[in-house]
């Protein structure tokens, strides 16, 4: 009986009606609870909108890359080869980082850009020989590799396979007697972007490992490697001030890359200098 009375007593004390009468400042507490509830709903709605924007951005990127890969040769991105002039032609090929450089002349070269966004090194390898045969450039610059790494690497053998694609490109250049410059892969920027959330967490380490293999291959084949240090910070990440998103350069970064490529070309017998 005493237990029942005790329970009834506490229920009566804690009931909303009793609280309204007995708790000082109840109206203030009630308003605070309402404010917290409204804030919670607003945070939930904002989070849902952010997730939806991220999903749509990733979906658009994935669909675009799938469409591009339907044409491994990059025919959907093809632009007419410019009429030949007295100036030598420079073929710039690779992925979206290559395509960012456009077709503006570089030093003493007229530029033909065959960068295809989304392509991996095997896909670049599949078309580079044909492009070199058709365009007959005086020099080739290859910028590729990050698309092979951005979603993660399953084993060290994957890095060897990527490096082998670069080596095959160099062998094609040797067979056609066309000098080639390979641009080492640079990793992501530390800038916070939606695109960066989708990248493999160990991308930076795999970039470093691949570049070590690429350096060995370049030394074995006496190939030219472009200098990318001006693009990197002290942690070997792409400088925030030079990035438009997690993977791509902004206008200032593109200009620095063009300058680095020009210095690399000028170091090869001065063929591309003005």
Q: Mean pLDDT per segment of 10 residues, for the chain of length 274 residues?
A: 54 47 56 73 78 63 56 53 76 96 94 94 96 96 95 90 97 96 91 63 90 95 93 88 91 96 80 43
What per-residue confidence (pLDDT) applies to 272? 43
Q: Indicate the SS3 state at residue 217.
A: helix
Q: Which pLDDT belongs to residue 6?
A: 55
* The pLDDT value given to residue 192: 58
User: Selecting from 3.40.309.10, 3.30.70.260, 3.40.50.1220, 3.40.50.1110, what CATH number does the domain 71-266 have?
Assistant: 3.40.50.1110
CA distances from 165 to 45, 120, 191 (A): 46, 10, 30
What integer pLDDT is reported at residue 25 of this predicted model? 52
H/E run at residue 254:
helix 251-266
Residue pLDDT, tens place only, 5-22: 555 554 454 444 444 444
Confidence at residue 76, expressed as pLDDT on a 0 to 100 scale: 53
Please report which helix (H) or strand (E) contains residue 90, including its range: strand 89-94
Query: Are the beta carbons of 202 and 152 closer than 8 angstroms?
Result: yes
**DSSP letter (8 states) at residue 23:** S
Enumerate the domain spans of the chain. Answer: 71-266
Position 22 scores a pLDDT of: 47
Measured in degrees and rounded to the nearest 5, phi and psi for residue 223 equal -90, 160
Indicate the pTM of the whole model: 0.71
């Amino acid at each position: 009986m005493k237990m029942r009375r005790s329970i009834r007593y506490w229920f009566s004390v804690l009931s909303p009606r009793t609280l309204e009468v007995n708790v000082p400042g109840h109206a203030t507490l009630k308003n605070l609870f309402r404010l917290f509830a409204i804030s919670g709903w607003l945070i939930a709605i904002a989070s849902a909108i952010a997730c939806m924007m991220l999903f749509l951005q990733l979906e658009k990127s994935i669909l675009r890359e799938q469409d591009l890969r339907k044409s491994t040769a990059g025919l959907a991105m093809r632009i007419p080869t410019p009429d030949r002039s007295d100036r030598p032609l420079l073929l710039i090929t690779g992925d979206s980082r290559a395509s960012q450089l456009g077709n503006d002349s570089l030093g003493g070269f007229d530029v033909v850009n065959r960068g295809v966004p989304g392509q991996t090194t095997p896909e670049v390898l599949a078309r580079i020989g044909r492009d070199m045969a058709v365009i007959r450039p005086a020099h080739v610059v290859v910028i590729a590799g990050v698309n092979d790494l951005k979603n993660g690497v399953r084993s060290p053998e994957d890095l060897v396979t990527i490096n082998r694609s670069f080596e095959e490109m160099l062998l094609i250049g040797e067979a056609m007697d066309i000098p080639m410059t390979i641009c080492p892969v640079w990793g992501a920027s530390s800038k916070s972007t939606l695109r960066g959330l989708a990248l493999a967490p160990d991308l930076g380490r795999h970039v470093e490992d691949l570049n070590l293999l690429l350096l060995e291959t370049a030394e074995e084949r006496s190939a030219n490697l472009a200098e990318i240090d001006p693009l990197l910070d002290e942690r070997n990440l792409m400088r925030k001030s030079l990035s438009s998103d997690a993977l791509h350069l902004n206008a200032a970064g593109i200009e620095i890359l063009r300058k680095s490529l020009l210095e690399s070309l000028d170091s090869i017998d001065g063929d591309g200098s003005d």
